[in-house]
Amino acid sequence: MTSPAFDALLEQARAAHRDIADIARFCPFPTDLRSSSFTAFHIKSADLMAADPVMNAPDAHPLARAFIAAGPQAQWRETYKNTMIGDDFMDRFACYCLIGQGGPWISDQMAGFVVYMPPGLHYTWHHHPAEELYYVLAGQAEFLREGADSKVLHTGDSSFHASNQPHAMETHDHPVMAYVIWRNHLGTPPVLTERTVDRP
């Protein structure tokens, strides 16, 4: 049983897959959605996202505001708990799933979730078998990919990460919120990239 906030969020995601060219090219909205039971779980970084004025600004994408509205009922993730990533990252990095494990719906065609980082946070190099698209909903961040120049992306920009391509992200003076989509190999979680990846 979903809530009105999650139903509204799903419709905003559906519209994004229809209306945003980068998202539509990467992955159509799934045709096999199934309801999934989950338990709400709160982390303190969720409060940072909800209170961030950039995320609530008039020029933020409607999907950003929908993710904030559904946040109090979400199962927030602790993907890197008990790793070497550090407490500062765990205390300030926010993520929850809309479609996929821990979310109100699942699909065999894609997973979709939100990622938020406040200013001055480094999301270290990591990789996963799933192909991935980040679409920036609000704010900005520097995106790094192995084999490519780093690039600062703003609202409306996207970054594609190939299967098992190490990538990282860093905020400087601004926060960022992104809609993240996975296709293929949905069941394998991300892992930290062991070797050091230098900036190109």
Report domain extents, the chain.
4-192
In this prediction, residue 198 has a pLDDT band, given cuts at 50, 70 and 90, of low
Residue 93 clears pLDDT 90, i.e. is over it = yes
Residue 69 pLDDT exceeds 90: yes
Distance CA 194, CA 125 (A): 8
Reported as a pLDDT band with limits 50, 70 and 90, residue 48 is very high
Region 12-28: mean pLDDT is 98
For range 75-84, the mean pLDDT:
92
Question: Residue 10 phi/psi, 5° resolution?
Answer: -60, -40
pLDDT band at 28 (very low <50, low <70, confident <90, very high): very high
pLDDT at residue 49 in the model = 98
**Residue 102, token pair as written in the block:** 């821990």
Q: Is the pLDDT of residue 196 over 60?
A: no
Q: Give ∠ CA 86-158-146 in degrees, rounded to 5.
A: 55
So what CATH class is 4-192? Answer: mainly beta
73: Cα separation from own chain's centroid: 17
Dihedral, CA of residue 59, residue 61, residue 66 and residue 68, to nearest 10:
-60
User: What are the backbone angles phi and psi of residue 32, rounded to the nearest 5°?
Assistant: -120, 30
C-alpha atoms less than 13 angstroms from C-alpha of 137 in its C-beta half-sphere: 25
Report whether pLDDT(52) > 90.
Answer: yes
What's the confidence (pLDDT) of residue 2?
A: 78
Which residues lie closer than 8 Å to 77 by C-beta, 6 or more apart?
43, 95, 96, 97, 102, 113
Q: What is the pLDDT of residue 164?
A: 97
- Residues near 189 by beta carbon (within 8 Å), at least 6 away in sequence: 79, 128
Percent of the chain residues past pLDDT 90, beyond the cut: 90
* pLDDT score, position 60: 86
CA-CA-CA-CA dihedral for 88, 194, 188, 74, to nearest 10 = 10
